[in-house]
Amino acid sequence: MTTPDTSSPLLALRQIRKRYGATVALDGVDLTLHAGEVLALMGANGAGKSTLVKIIAGVERADAGQVLWQSQPVTFGSPRAALSAGVVTVHQQTSQLGVPGLTVAENLLLGKLCDPASPVLQSPRQLLAEAARVAGDLAGGLPLTADFADLTTAQRQLLALARALYENARLVILDEPTASLSAHESRRLFAAVDQLRAAGIAVLYISHRPADLRRLADRAVVLRNGQVAGGFAAPLDLDAALRVLTGGTLPLRSKALTPTAPGPVRLQLDAVRLLPESPAINLTLRAGEVVALTGNLGAGKSHLLRVLFGAGRLASGRVLLNGQPWRARNPAQAIAAGVFMAAEDRWRSSFLPTTTLGATLADLIALPHLPQLFKSGWLDHTALDERAISWIARLGIRAPGPQATPDQLSGGNQQKVVLARWQSMPAQVLLLDEPFQGVDIGARHDLVNAIRASTDRAVLIATSDLEEAVEVADRVLIMDQHGIYDPGPLRDGASLLDHIEQLERFAGQASNPAEEALA
Amino acid sequence: MNTQTHQLPQPVFSLALLRRHALFLILLLLIAGFASKEPAFVQPANLLSILQSTSVEALLGLAVTVALIAGGFDLSIGATASTALIASSYAMVVWHWGAVPTVLFGLLSGAAIGLFNALLVVRLRIPDLLATLGTMFLLGGLQLIPTGGQSISTGLMLPDGSSASGTFAPGFLALGRARLLGVPVPVIIVAVIALALWLLMQRTRWGRVFYATGGNEQAAALAGAPTARYRTLAYVLSGTLAALGGVIIAARVGRGDVSGGGSLLLDSVGATLIGFAVLNARRPHIVGTVVGALFVGVLLNGLTMLNVPFYTQDFVKGLVLVGALALTFGPGRGRA
């Protein structure tokens, strides 16, 4: 869909500037957005995307420049002011999109329920009927009586979008909405965005994912170092956009042409069943090999990784580590045996609250290895710092120093810290759960290189993003219903796209019955 | 890529620096103020008496701090101390035990209570505030049973009609009353324990695991830490420290008074929370708790010297606590 440029834009930004102390976050950004248009906002971490979104959403104020809303100069002094003008922001943090403790129906009608003009007494039946109407076909599958807290990320997003549509939003900002969605859920979200667009709502869509942008965007604007580095009209030339984004050529790894020579078998799974009734899993991982597991959320990827790390139980079967029968009863045993896992959601699984003692990069990198590093029990702070400095340099982590806390780092650099933790000791098997979550393309490339650098260990990666899987791995396996399926080897670059298509179709079909059963 | 991640150079006299040392500054101002009004305030004898009177609060504060570092609040601290107080008094007066077995018995009672708390919180997964609240009531009632609610001293009427004939051994009383090179023994005990705990928490890898467990238990577990064991250990350590506090009170007073330990709990939690503001750590830490306890001690001693009525003490403590919390969590916190 294209929008005639003759109509006056819904939102126009003129020469927006914003500084944080000595750091220039936005350096004269111009941007226009029309009703019924999906504008993709692209940029590496730190390019200024978040700041720009915050200014539009009323969270921050620009130091200089003009915001025109329907051709009138405005300043959104608060998120509330932006919201009442019709700007709805759907954050990555979906816990903010509704009220836990209230049902989906109550959340859908929250605006109305909080309106002093609405009736004091509300009949539950009427409420449900109205909520069902609000949900419409955009969020039709949502369980209206479920607690918001029990919803998945995808369901929360749909709820927020349905509410935005109902409350006559004019502009919806979506911040990396597909970051933790399965392929099937993503398609559902895309359909919802289509509906918003058809209803004349402008959509500002922030994403790193080429598949999203290809599917949705009418136009794309690329930010770099706080400035607009380029604008692209549909059909998007993604390669060109990515080049602009990274400020040069994007070195894509020609993985199909450089297969690694696999070494000795590190890990072998014999007829492992994760659940008593799930299919048996047979899997062999060799030193120097990188294997990716892909599939929907809940397919069992994380479960398998956690089992191997001793943080979960398997129902039956046998695991061999370096040819010896082996079973980790807890993570400590796994770590002692050289089986390391970086779990998903780094803030919950790997970092500490920033005010806690031990929340610095130096401490976080060393945390699992403290018993090996300091056998006597006494810490050597200099040694901790030196280790961290060395890994900051080796992985190219952009950080003020070893005493920084991860909240001062961009997402990609945070993930490098997690990787540094598990690379800083020799591993037999490295298990990585969603290692590219919230990581921009440039940093992802660094991570891929670091993951593939060692030939001494086997790497098993769980990711719900097929393109990530294909980029990083020698072999891509599909996981579904706690079983593993091998779609066959990749031979050359040409078969790659076919492969992706095939995987997506598989993942989509496989998830359908299960999701309908839940709804 | 960007410069956003780089920290800005901090000016030497920044607000952050002021905030970091605010409590020390106020403490110095307080001491100077009291000294100018009442010169006797800064006499060594008075300063030592401040230290002595804060030693038990500091000890109990450390107990709260240890539990809190590992992520568990312990509301039963005061009750634990008073239970150990009763247990050790009972052992001396009714059972005629010597000083050493009595002290060990008192400490063991505290360790057992800590283990019980850990059972409730770690094993049965009862939320820590609720579980230790339950323990607090349980202990408050338990103390009354063996003595029928009376204080324990020589001549105590026992349920069988006879009277207890034991006395507090001099060696036991020395724990609360004696001085070593002029310094009260409780002060020395607390200083040694505070130093040991500081070393444990700040300088060893075990300390890191305690903090990691309290900060993000899942992350600590995935880093290979046996978090259940650490949390249990923290409660046992906390109970033992609280019991030591109770034993010292028994030795100082020379009598086993029953109490729910409510004011002890308030003082110790207060010291810990005031400690959050010390060095702007915004977390429980050993140095902070000791300074927090001292802060309250100095304030109360000074006000008493200036003839401020006794009954305003709780109000003053509350005021200091709220002020310190505002300093810790108030606006403008965080790094540049």
- For residue range A99-156, what is the model confidence (pLDDT) as tens digits? 887 889 888 888 777 777 777 777 778 888 888 888 887 888 888 888 888 888 888 8
Which range of A17-31, B116-130, B165-179 scores highest in mean pLDDT? It is B116-130
Chain B interface mutation, best of A352, A365, A376, A439, highest count of B Cβ atoms under 10 Å:
A352
Q: Which residues contact A503 (CB under 8 A, 6 or more apart)?
A: A294, A466, A476, A478, A487
Task: With beta carbons less than 8 A apart as the criterion, state whether A348 and A437 touch.
Answer: no
Q: How far is CA B77 from CA B80, B145, B185, B317, B329, in A?
A: 5, 20, 22, 18, 25
> What was the pLDDT predicted at B10?
47
Highest mean pLDDT among A79-83, B172-176, B186-190: B186-190
Q: Which is it for the CA torsion A89, A92, A98, A104, positive or negative?
A: positive
- Look up residue B71 and give its two tokens: 């992520």
Pick the CATH number of A13-86+171-245 from 3.50.50.60, 3.20.20.70, 3.40.50.300, 3.30.360.10: 3.40.50.300
Res A502: pLDDT: 53
Tally the residues of chain A.
Answer: 519
Q: pLDDT at position A46, please?
A: 66
| Cα dist from B107 to A23, A33, A99, B74, B264, whole Å | 56, 71, 47, 17, 17
Helix (H, G, I), strand (E, B) or coil at B1: coil
B45 three-state secondary structure: helix
Q: Determine whether the interchain pair B222/A370 forms a contact, defined as Cβ–Cβ distance below 8 Å.
A: no
Q: Are the C-beta atoms of residues A131 and A108 closer than 8 Å to each other?
A: yes
Residue B9 CA to residue A401 CA, distance in Å, equals: 13
pLDDT score of B193: 97
| A266 SS3 class | strand
Whole-angstrom distance, CA of residue A155 vs CA of residue A159: 6
Q: Which two tokens stand for residue B8?
A: 């800005």
pLDDT of residue A243: 67
Angle A448-A454-A456 from CA coordinates, rounded to 5°:
140
| Nearest-5° Cα angle at A115, A113 to A120 | 60
Written as six digits, the tokens of A267 are 């890990």
Which residues of chain A from 338 to 397 reach within 8 Å of chain B, CB to CB?
341, 343, 348-353, 355-359, 363, 367-368, 370-371, 373-374, 377-379
A44 vs B: CB within 8 A? yes
**Where do the CATH 3.40.50.300 domains begin and end in chain A?**
13-86+171-245, 260-348+427-518
Interface test with A, best of B203, B208, B217, B329 (most A CBs within 10 A): B208
Q: What ipTM was assigned to the predicted interfaces of this complex?
A: 0.75
For A21, which of B8, B203, B207 is closest by C-beta distance? B8
Q: What span, in angstroms and rounded, lies between the C-alpha atoms of B177 and B162?
A: 30
Q: In the prediction, which pLDDT does A346 show?
A: 87
pTM: 0.72
Report CA-CA distances (Å) from B242 to A237, B56, B74, B233. Answer: 69, 9, 10, 14
Residues facing A19 on adjacent strands? A24
Region B224-234 average pLDDT: 93
Quick one: CATH architecture of B15-157+164-329?
Orthogonal Bundle (1.10)
Q: Name, in order, each residue with C-beta under 8 angstroms of A120's C-beta and a sequence gap of 6 or more.
A: none
Residues B231-257 pLDDT 10s: 999 999 999 999 999 999 999 988 888
User: Residue A318 in contact with residue A270, Cβ under 8 Å?
Assistant: yes
Burial of B162: CB neighbours in 10 Å, binned 0-12, 13-18, 19+:
exposed
The span from the CA of A72 to the CA of B8, in Å, is: 37
**Would you state the structure tokens that stand for residue B178, as one six-digit string?**
């004696």
Q: Which of A229-233, B12-16, B30-34 has the highest mean pLDDT?
A: B30-34
Distance, CA of A204 to CA of A56 (rounded, Å): 10
Q: First CA to last CA across chain A, in angstroms?
A: 32
pLDDT of res. A259: 53
Tell whether A292 lies on the interface with B, counting CB pairs under 8 A.
no
Distance CA(B52)–CA(B34), nearest Å, equals: 19
Find the closest chain B residue to A410 by CA distance: B5
A429 touches chain B (CB under 8 A): no
Contact B219 A400 (CB under 8 A): no
Q: Are A335 and B224 in contact (CB < 8 Å)?
A: yes
Query: From the list B5, B224, B335, which residue is nearest A410 (CB)?
Result: B5
Between CA B208 and CA B268 the distance in angstroms is 23
pLDDT along chain A (519 residues), means of 10: 61 90 83 93 78 90 91 88 89 79 85 74 82 84 86 88 89 86 85 92 85 85 85 74 58 46 87 90 91 81 93 91 91 93 88 89 93 91 93 89 89 90 93 87 84 88 80 83 75 46 48 36
Taking contacts as CB-CB distances below 8 angstroms, the residues of chain A near B8 are: 21-23
Residues 6+ apart with CB under 8 A from A471: A252, A253, A255, A444, A448
**Closest Cβ opposite residue A348 in set B3, B218, B283:** B218
For chain B, say whether A430 makes contact (Cβ under 8 Å): no
Q: Name the residue among B31, B120, B131 with its Cα closest to residue B74.
A: B131
**Torsion on CA atoms B201, B205, B210, B216, rounded to nearest 10:** 130
Query: For chain B, what's the residue count?
Result: 336
In CATH, the number for domain A260-348+427-518 is 3.40.50.300
Q: Which residues in chain A have Cβ-Cβ distances shorter than 8 Å to B201?
A: 357
Strand order in the sheet with A64-69: A23-33, A11-20, A64-69, A72-74
pLDDT at residue B200 in the model: 93
Strand partners, A38: A203
In degrees and rounded to multiples of 5, residue B143 shows phi and psi of -60, -30
Return the amino acid letter for B88: S
Residue B129's SS3 state is: helix
Q: Is pLDDT above 90 for B109?
A: yes
Backbone angles phi, psi at A26, to 5 degrees: -130, 130
Provide the b/e sequence for B35-72 (b: ≥16 CB within 10 Å): eeeeeebeeeebeeebbbbbbbbbbbbbbbbbbbbbbb
Cα(A7)–Cα(A202) distance, integer angstroms? 13
Put simply, the answer to whether A358 touches B212 (Cβ < 8 Å) is yes
Report the SS3 class of residue A341.
Answer: strand
- pLDDT over 70 percentage in chain B: 94
- Rounded Cα distance between A399 and A388, Å, is 11
Encoded tokens for B242: 């609280």
List of chain B residues whose C-beta atoms are within 8 Å of the C-beta of residue A378 = 203-205
Q: Which tokens hold the place of A170? A: 């004019």
CA B175/CA A474 separation, integer angstroms:
70
Strand partners for A17: A27, A64
Q: Smallest CA–CA separation between B264 and chain A, in Å?
A: 27
